[in-house]
Amino acid sequence: MKTSIGLFTCILFALAVTTTTSGVNAQNKSYTPEKTASLQALLDEKIEDYRHLYPEITFLILQGDEELPADMTTLNRQLGSQPSSMDYEHTAALREDLMYVSVERIRIMLESQLPSASLFEAGANQGRKENVCVLTINPRWVAADSIIATSHLLDLPQEILSKIPQDMRLLPADYLGFVIDHEVYHCLKSMYVGPQLMSHKELWGGYNHFLNELGADAYALGMHIKTRGDVSPFARNILRIRGMALYSADPDHLTCNALKQILDVPIEDITKMSPFEIFDLANTIKHRQLTGHDAYMQYLASAVQAMKDIGMEEYISDDLLKKLKGMHADPEQVKNLVTNSLHCLTDLSGGQLDP
């Protein structure tokens, strides 16, 4: 296993830029101080709820923008001496290098205005260690209005996004809540399920990333339904938008099947569940989607062919094609991926967007 900082940085940055994961009023086209304050209050309230649910975890929210230097100072102070990443299995000899790139990843996410989650075992500041979940979430980045909320998951040109009917766009407060739950899931997974294990397998990081995105989306949607007490238009729209992940050349966020399984659970069952039970349900659902690393490689090969079939070939990276060399697409899987992508495109736009 290579141990260079450069390799770690490449792996973590690749995960950082693909990790993502909002209802106020779909009519609003720009944020106002009043709306921003309302969304900030939602963020504060949800994080406070998580602090009560998981007192063994310290939740640290970083919001970037002009506060970036102060954020990094706060982060370093919170982590204390000799902290350790809980997201990735590693040897003692790699702890310092992994911490370096983990903190650098957080800085990159703040500069890029992207949400993320990282879990650390903090050093002994007051003679005790603590588990610190570091979240980079700024409501203005992801949910200033319905267009921003929708485009956060749908990487398409503005002229295409503007054609999406307003009732198909993601409402800001619903989406912000989804993002918070999605990111918190990643910390909970590292804490209670365990870190990503070390492996020499090709695209091992991508495999684990896809699994975790399945779990995070299932958990976030389950929490949304529990909070709302019904299957809202947001739930249907998030399913449609995730179904278009191949149009963003992003097969690791094609989480439709996991979302559908949450939607198949009776509403009354979800509303009766505790957040802990929804977390367990999300973990069960994510493991139903893939039967291992080989299944992921097969899925990627099929997804690549599907992207070619829907006209996204130019966005497929040469590096991915090289790593999938010798892997053959499953024709039936390709057919299903293409059909689902076209259906979601038509459904989301009311027929206004051409395949």
Q: Domain segments of the chain: what residues?
A: 1-142, 199-355
* Distance separating alpha carbons of residues 223 and 49, to the nearest angstrom: 12
Give pLDDT, residue 65.
Answer: 84
Looking at residues 272-300, what average pLDDT do you find?
Answer: 94
Lowest mean pLDDT among 47-51, 223-227, 242-246, 286-290: 286-290
Give pLDDT, residue 157.
Answer: 79
Burial 268-301 (b: 16+ CB within 10 A, else e): eebeebebeebbebbbebbeebbeebeebbbbbb
Residue 248 near residue 156 (C-beta atoms within 8 A): yes
Lowest mean pLDDT among 29-38, 80-89, 157-166: 29-38
Return the number of other C-beta atoms located less than 10 Å from residue 29's C-beta: 10
The per-residue pLDDT for range 22-35, each reduced to its tens digit, is 332 333 334 455 56
Percent of the chain with pLDDT over 90: 75
* Distance separating alpha carbons of residues 298 and 331, to the nearest angstrom: 11
β-bridge pairing 57-62 and 116-122: unpaired
- Selection from 117, 92, 86, 97 nearest residue 10 by Cα: 97
pLDDT above 70 (res 355): no
11 pLDDT band, cuts 50/70/90, is very low
Percent of the chain with pLDDT over 70: 87
160 pLDDT band, cuts 50/70/90, is confident
Q: Give how far the C-alpha of residue 129 lies from the chain's centroid of Cα atoms, to the nearest Å.
A: 27
* Distance separating alpha carbons of residues 18 and 217, to the nearest angstrom: 14
| C-alpha to C-alpha distances, 158 to 101, 162, 164, 323, 354, nearest whole angstrom | 33, 6, 10, 32, 15
Give pLDDT, residue 31.
Answer: 43
143 pLDDT band, cuts 50/70/90, is very high
Return the number of other C-beta atoms located less than 10 Å from residue 314's C-beta: 8
| C-alpha to C-alpha distances, 215 to 64, 88, 206, 236, 243, nearest whole angstrom | 27, 17, 14, 18, 16
Looking at residues 150-155, what average pLDDT do you find?
Answer: 87
- Name the DSSP letter for residue 103: H
The per-residue pLDDT for range 248-259, each reduced to its tens digit, is 899 999 999 999
Share the mean pLDDT of the chain. 87
pLDDT above 90 (res 200): yes
Looking at residues 50-55, what average pLDDT do you find?
Answer: 97
